[in-house]
Amino acid sequence: MNKRATPVTDFVPHTDPAVVEDLRARARATRWPDAHDGAGWSLGTDIDYLRGLVEYWADGFDFEAHRTRLAELPSHRVEIDGIGIHFLHARAEARPDGPAPMPLLLAHGWPDSSWRYRKALPLLTRPAAPTGEDAHVFDVVVPDMPGFGFSDRLTGAAPDVRAVAGMWAELMTALGYGRFAVAGGDFGAHVVRYLALDFPDRVIAVHRMDGDLPAGDPATLTQEERDWIRDSQNWQAREGAYSAVHVTKPQTAAVGLTDSPAGLAAWIVEKLQSWSDCGGDLESVYTRDEILDLLTEYWVTGTIGSSIRSYRAMVEIPADQLPRRVEVPSGFTMFPRDFKNAPRPWLERMTNLVYYSEPTSGGHFVPFEDAELYVQELRKFLGTGI
């Protein structure tokens, strides 16, 4: 678990103009499949929607404005055990009359990157009110996982989420933070779980958006927990084909996703639509430019293949790690349109649960979908006197 970090440097993410021109040419030359009349999103990506998005990507999206947005981010870079890591680091506004800032690491999942938290980051660094829980501010650190975003594109096996947790602990050491809070969703929920398990003396509190499925003898589970497993299995049958591909044959999928902008867009946009609280209308939650910011970054970095290979590493976590109980103060927010909403009794059994919330809105990407709601949840949890 010992990691070594090089000195932190400032970093400006780069998008090569030649790569952008190639992207445009490929998008314009898309060979479109036929589509079932009236299928919409029911068979996967809505081809009519996708065609409009890809045409805009080729001839409407402002790549120069995207470069400017990237340049304005508080981006930095460090090497940890030889892997280059890109991360955002924004310090809280100085407030001599308010609570001291709390260091907070935010961990992302797939199919995103630090993109997930870009809207939440500035809200966390300044107070929402003069007093109370909304007065709390944070020094925020948002790293891109290895093989994601502007971190190094891996050519070998991806580190598993426990190894990533060790890297993030070293990152916080390099930034001068001895103790810190952590929060995450999707892969990030697993990363912060292992941060709390393996570095309990350093993690102040851990907030997650989902819980791990039970492992072991089903006879030891409550009926509510067995129902949860059944519902999760039903979801996997309906929606989980992508995950099975990522775990078993990621390199096969990576060929088409790396070669075709339309293919990449189809693979990711379908998840944004399916997992977000958008009522079926993707652009009620995200603008086209926000969607294409994410897609463009996957394209110019060529990280779609390395990102999906992370699923193989995830399932290779040793079985004896799964039933470990988190003793660090834990908070969970179960957003209704997310898909791993664990029952409270299970979370009470497996964690030191001090906060549990079920908002009436929000999906898998709620830090981007509704940043104010997400930040409110974090402040409620982290402002409870932990």
| Mean pLDDT, rounded, for 65-89 | 97
Instruction: Evaluate if residue 295 carries a pLDDT over 90.
Output: yes
Instruction: Evaluate if residue 208 carries a pLDDT over 80.
Output: yes
Per DSSP (E only), the strands in 132-245 are: 138-143, 180-184, 203-208
Per DSSP (E only), the strands in the chain are: 9-10, 75-80, 83-90, 102-107, 138-143, 180-184, 203-208, 326-333, 351-357
Q: Report the C-alpha gap between 52 and 139 in whole angstroms.
A: 39
77 DSSP β-pair partners: 9, 86
Query: Of 226, 115, 193, which Cα lies nearest the Cα of 350?
Result: 193
What pTM, to 2 d.p., does this model score? 0.96
166 vs 227, more confident: 166
| Mean pLDDT, rounded, for 230-242 | 92
> Residue 2's pLDDT band (boundaries 50, 70, 90)?
low
> What digits encode the pLDDT tens for the residues 133-167?
788 899 999 999 999 999 999 888 889 999 999 99
Cα angle: 213, vertex 214, 219; to 5 degrees:
140
Instruction: Evaluate if residue 180 carries a pLDDT over 90.
Output: yes
Instruction: Evaluate if residue 359 carries a pLDDT over 90.
Output: yes
User: Which tokens sit at 297?
Assistant: 């970054």
What percent of the chain is modeled with pLDDT above 70? 99
Lowest mean pLDDT among 180-184, 198-202, 234-238, 248-252: 234-238
User: Which tokens sit at 56?
Assistant: 């805009």
> Residue 340's pLDDT band (boundaries 50, 70, 90)?
confident
| Mean pLDDT, rounded, for 195-204 | 98
Average pLDDT, the chain: 94
- Domain boundary assignment for the chain: 9-382
Does residue 103 have a cis bond before it (omega within 30 degrees)?
A: no
Model pLDDT, residue 134:
81
User: Around 377, how many Cα atoms within 13 Å sit in the side-chain half-sphere?
Assistant: 27
> Residue 368's pLDDT band (boundaries 50, 70, 90)?
very high
Instruction: Evaluate if residue 108 carries a pLDDT over 90.
Output: yes
Instruction: Evaluate if residue 339 carries a pLDDT over 60.
Output: yes
3-class DSSP state of 105 = strand
Model pLDDT, residue 352:
97
> What digits encode the pLDDT tens for the residues 25-66?
999 999 999 988 889 999 999 999 999 999 999 999 999 999
Model pLDDT, residue 216:
64
Instruction: Evaluate if residue 322 carries a pLDDT over 70.
Output: yes
Lowest mean pLDDT among 195-199, 337-341, 372-376: 337-341
| Mean pLDDT, rounded, for 80-93 | 95
Calculate helix-pair angle for 187-198, 161-174, nearest 10 degrees: 70
Model pLDDT, residue 4:
83
Please name the CATH architecture into which domain 9-382 falls.
Answer: 3-Layer(aba) Sandwich (3.40)
Model pLDDT, residue 214:
73
Lowest mean pLDDT among 23-27, 31-35, 203-207, 263-267: 31-35
246 vs 129, more confident: 246
